[in-house]
Amino acid sequence: MSKAALEKLRAKFGDAILETHSQHGDDTAVVASERWREVCEFCRKDPGLSFDMLTDLCGVDFPERAPRIEVVIHLYSTQKRHRIRLKTRVGETSGEEGEDGLVNCAVDTVVPVWPGANWFERETFDMYGVTFKGHPDLRRILMYPEFEGHPLLKDYPAEKTQPLIPYREKDEDGKPLEKQAPFGPDEGMSFGRKHFTHGGEA
């Protein structure tokens, strides 16, 4: 619908638009990360585009790709009633281990363009470790500050939890816990219905 928007972006930024496609009517442009902020500002301010609403901002992890993480934003124009999706790719995995083996995982913030991006960028930072340069308050939003690593990266171990307090190992009398939930035929139920009823029979 807004292929015109993609053409406008291509005409304006040329090589900075790495690729575009319009699958199922969803117009998507992949932007070079160096010009991310510039493209976003243009999308917001150009009278023909005027994308005044930031619907979503999130991250995607592709561990096999060279710029590993995609930052995706979905935009909507309440005046022109059209949508666009912008992506940029950041984050190289290097031999030298930085935090999570990610280096150069940074992109300009879009909070000055759409103030609503604030918490979205904090979430993307929390979950993927993308640093948004110039963000007013970049810290974790969902996980606790003691949490190490970024849980939605594909190389975060699926089983790994980081409890804030140690789990119980002894019961109140100081005896070691054998099993916590009761198991067995009655499951600790001291009255009634110890066995299932089938079709109303006892």
Binding site for another protein (CB under 8 A): 142-144, 151, 156, 158, 160-165, 167-168, 171-172, 180-182, 187-191, 193-199, 201
Parallel/antiparallel/unpaired status of strands 26-31 and 83-93:
parallel
Give the integer Cα–Cα distance in Å for 113 and 191: 64
CB of 15 or CB of 173, closer to another protein: 173
Q: How far is the CB of 127 from another protein (least distance, A)?
A: 10
Q: How far is the CB of 82 from another protein (least distance, A)?
A: 36
3-state secondary structure of 90: strand
3-state secondary structure of 51: coil
CB of 64 or CB of 172, closer to another protein: 172
Q: How far is the CB of 64 from another protein (least distance, A)?
A: 22
Q: Where are the beta strands (DSSP E) in the chain?
A: 17-23, 26-31, 53-61, 67-76, 83-93, 102-103, 106-108, 131-133
CB of 47 or CB of 185, closer to another protein: 185
Q: How far is the CB of 108 from another protein (least distance, A)?
A: 29
Amino acid at 54: L
Residues 6+ apart with CB under 8 A from 126: 140, 141, 142, 143, 150
CB of 64 or CB of 187, closer to another protein: 187
Q: How far is the CB of 123 from another protein (least distance, A)?
A: 13
CB of 23 or CB of 197, closer to another protein: 197
